[in-house]
């Protein structure tokens, strides 16, 4: 379905990003697996993709820091050349993000600034830099959150940053429509990832509480989000743009 196409997935060493990278590769895309610091996790993601017959390569860059995009695109171009691919992209998945705890009374300015630097500023300028190489008919998919629909005061800065991303998505979809490029969000709910392991897996009561958010009385898996991304990346989704695909499992309907 995605054979001959190239995808860049940010934050793809672990969790949801890894599942997205694996799914797009399984569907035939050459996948650039971006990550921030964990070399072992990124290499394992690439190795898993290759063992399944897919193609992928790692790209290291810590978003939200000086020189982040120069490092990312230099690594991207090195990886593309190594795979005899041109510089063009077909699919950009902006998944990388941070999600610190903090309510209205106790979110520190430095935490707020860091959240917006990674979740908004880096995403904006990474996308800006990718646009000249994104082929007409391409796909941009931004991973947001169910917390833009469901009020979670304990994650207010994170939710606000993702709200900004959703405005960016809608506006960019209008702007890129003439090129046939679709721009959409996928909004996960509570997902069983390593990031959530400490509080989610270690306490049956916590798992039950999290599951109760969903209409299915269950906790989502990274593969559930990856499936939504894979749909938006395909030709079948050519008439879907500027919207948010809710992948929260019907949380708090």
Active site residues: 158
Residue with tokens 């994650």: 155
- Find, among 48, 29, 34, the residue nearest to 88 by Cα: 29
Which tokens belong to 189?
Answer: 């709910």
- Find, among 79, 78, 37, 39, the residue nearest to 57 by Cα: 79
CA dist 164 and 215 (Å) reads 27
- Find, among 95, 97, 51, the residue nearest to 186 by Cα: 95
Beta-bridge mates of residue 102: 155
Contacts of 181 (CB under 8 A, 6+ apart): 134, 136, 137, 138, 139, 140
SS3 121: helix
CA dist 75 and 33 (Å) reads 10
- Find, among 74, 61, 21, 28, the residue nearest to 45 by Cα: 21
- Find, among 151, 68, 72, 69, the residue nearest to 58 by Cα: 72
Distance of CA 69 to the CA centre of its chain: 16
């Amino acid at each position: 379905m995605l054979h001959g196409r190239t995808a860049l997935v940010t934050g793809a060493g672990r969790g949801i990003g890894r599942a997205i990278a694996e799914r797009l590769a399984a569907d035939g895309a050459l996948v650039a697996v971006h990550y921030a610091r964990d070399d072992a996790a990124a290499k394992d993601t690439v190795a898993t993709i290759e063992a399944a017959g897919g193609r992928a390569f790692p790209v290291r860059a810590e978003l939200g820091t000086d020189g982040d995009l120069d490092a990312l695109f230099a690594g991207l171009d090195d990886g593309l050349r190594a795979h005899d691919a041109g510089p063009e992209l077909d699919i950009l998945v902006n998944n990388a993000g941070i999600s610190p705890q903090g309510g209205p009374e106790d979110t520190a300015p430095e935490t707020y600034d860091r959240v917006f630097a990674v979740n908004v500023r880096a995403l904006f300028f990474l996308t800006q830099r990718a646009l000249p190489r994104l082929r007409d008919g391409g796909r941009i998919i931004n991973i947001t959150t169910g917390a833009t629909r469901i009020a979670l005061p304990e994650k207010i800065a994170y939710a606000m940053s993702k709200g900004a991303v959703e405005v960016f998505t809608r506006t960019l979809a209008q702007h890129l429509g003439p090129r046939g490029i679709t721009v959409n969000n996928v909004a996960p709910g509570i997902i069983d990832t390593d990031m959530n392991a400490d509080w989610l897996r270690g306490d049956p009561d916590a798992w039950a509480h999290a599951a109760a958010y969903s209409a299915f009385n269950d906790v989502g898996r990274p593969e559930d989000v990856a499936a939504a991304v894979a749909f938006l990346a395909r030709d079948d989704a050519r008439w879907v743009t500027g919207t948010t695909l809710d992948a929260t499992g019907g949380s708090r309907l």
